[in-house]
């Protein structure tokens, strides 16, 4: 059965990349969440998607220019609904603790603030290194940024890596092989039956983002896609 990964948490029901969205995903029966990690100016890894703070918080400016003390004061919920007023921007360390507490799986997407690819990758790996138990399967680390993934592989031979393809690349296999990737994540726009087949034949898992319609999910399931990222963790239950 197609696995549903809660994209930025259950982000159709609660503000993306917040504990409200992660808790909602868990309450809906999801066992895996995807979230984005970006550093504040002083190097604290926060769970955050955009470069700028204004869309999903009451703050302004770039996250990478903001001190963590400021980021901690922000309201990341009110933009979505007044029911989520004062929902904080989570830190990676708090989310890792939450994942362990509830035995949840995760896809950590490295979203480096411009100019901080190396620092962000190292921060994610250090956080995992210091808090993730050795006997527990590691989260999947992904990124659109190839420099981040290459560094991740260099520093951590055992880390499961997901390679994101927003546009199709005919030489995807060379990159996947160099990275010793586990998964190839395709934007739905570049999915074809032949491409999915080619990736599966090379023994990589195929994940597709972002799928919010049941019809699309069932089609991808038929193609052999292993997982989809969805804002609706209940995609197959309630939308079919
Ligand atoms: O990893 C799948 C998806 O999260 C990638 O796009 O922009 O939602 O982070 P984005
Ligand atoms: Mg993401």
Q: Cα separation of 179 and 16, whole Å?
A: 29
Active site residue 7: yes
- pLDDT, position 208: 98
44 within ligand 1 shell (Cβ under 6 A): no
Please name the residue whose Cα sits nearest to atom 5 of ligand 1: 209
Distance spanning both ends of the chain, measured CA to CA: 14
pLDDT digits 0-9 by tens, 98-151: 999 999 999 999 999 999 999 999 999 999 999 999 999 999 999 999 999 999
Q: Cα separation of 126 and 147, whole Å?
A: 17
Mean pLDDT, rounded, for 212-240? 91
Number of domains in the chain: 1
185 within ligand 1 shell (Cβ under 6 A): yes
- pLDDT, position 108: 99
Please name the residue whose Cα sits nearest to atom 6 of ligand 1: 209
Average pLDDT score, the chain: 97
Number of helices followed by number of strands (H, E) in the chain: 9, 9
How much distance in Å is there from the Cα of 17 to the middle of ligand 2? 9
What does 213-234 look like in DSSP terms, one character per residue? -HHHHHHHHHHT--EEEES-TT
User: What is the SS3 assignment for 176?
Assistant: helix
Q: Cα separation of 209 and 196, whole Å?
A: 13
34 within ligand 1 shell (Cβ under 6 A): yes
How much distance in Å is there from the Cα of 16 to the middle of ligand 1? 11
pLDDT confidence tier of residue 240, bands split at 50, 70 and 90: low
**pTM, entire model:** 0.97
Beta bridge partners of 184: 163, 206
16 within ligand 1 shell (Cβ under 6 A): no
Mean pLDDT, rounded, for 162-166? 98
Please name the residue whose Cα sits nearest to atom 7 of ligand 1: 49
For residue 239, is pLDDT > 80?
Answer: no
207 within ligand 1 shell (Cβ under 6 A): no
Q: What residues contact 91, with CB distance under 8 A and at least 6 apart?
A: 44, 45, 46, 47, 68
Residue in 227, 239, 161 with CA at minimum distance from that of residue 5: 227
CATH of the domain at 36: 3.20.20.190
Q: Cα separation of 200 and 224, whole Å?
A: 8
Q: What residues contact 50, with CB distance under 8 A and at least 6 apart?
A: 56, 63
Q: Cα separation of 122 and 128, whole Å?
A: 10
Q: Cα separation of 106 and 127, whole Å?
A: 14
10 Å Cβ neighbour count for 174?
Answer: 10
Residue in 139, 79, 106 with CA at minimum distance from that of residue 22: 106
Place of tokens 């969440």: 33
User: What is the SS3 assignment for 152?
Assistant: helix
For residue 210, is pLDDT > 60?
Answer: yes
User: What is the SS3 assignment for 7?
Assistant: strand
Degrees, nearest 5: CA angle 81-35-132: 130
For residue 238, is pLDDT > 60?
Answer: no
- pLDDT, position 101: 98
Active site residue 67: no
- pLDDT, position 1: 85
Percentage of the chain exceeding pLDDT 70:
99
pLDDT confidence tier of residue 237, bands split at 50, 70 and 90: confident
Q: Residue 9's domain spans which residues?
A: 3-239
Percentage of the chain exceeding pLDDT 90:
98
């Amino acid at each position: 059965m197609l696995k549903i990964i809660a994209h930025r948490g259950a982000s159709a029901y609660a503000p993306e990349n917040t504990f409200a969205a992660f808790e909602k995903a868990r309450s809906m029966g999801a066992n895996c969440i995807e979230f984005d990690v970006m550093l504040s100016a002083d190097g604290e890894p926060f769970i955050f998607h955009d470069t700028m703070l204004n869309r999903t918080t009451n703050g302004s400016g770039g996250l990478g220019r903001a001190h963590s003390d400021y980021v901690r004061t922000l309201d990341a919920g009110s933009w979505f609904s007044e029911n989520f007023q004062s929902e904080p921007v989570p830190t990676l360390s708090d989310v890792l603790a939450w994942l362990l507490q509830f035995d949840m799986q995760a896809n950590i997407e490295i979203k480096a603030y411009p100019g901080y690819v190396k620092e962000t990758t190292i921060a994610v790996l250090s956080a995992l290194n210091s808090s993730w138990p050795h006997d527990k399967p590691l989260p999947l680390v992904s990124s659109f940024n190839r420099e981040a993934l290459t560094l991740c592989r260099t520093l951590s031979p055992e880390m499961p890596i997901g390679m994101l393809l927003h546009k199709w690349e005919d030489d995807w296999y060379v990159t996947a092989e160099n990275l010793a990737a586990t998964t190839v994540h395709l934007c739905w726009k570049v999915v074809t039956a032949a491409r999915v087949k080619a990736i599966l034949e090379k023994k990589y898992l195929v994940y597709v983002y972002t799928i919010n319609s049941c019809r699309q999910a069932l089609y991808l399931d038929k193609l052999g896609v292993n997982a989809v990222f969805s804002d609706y963790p209940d995609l197959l239950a309630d939308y079919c």
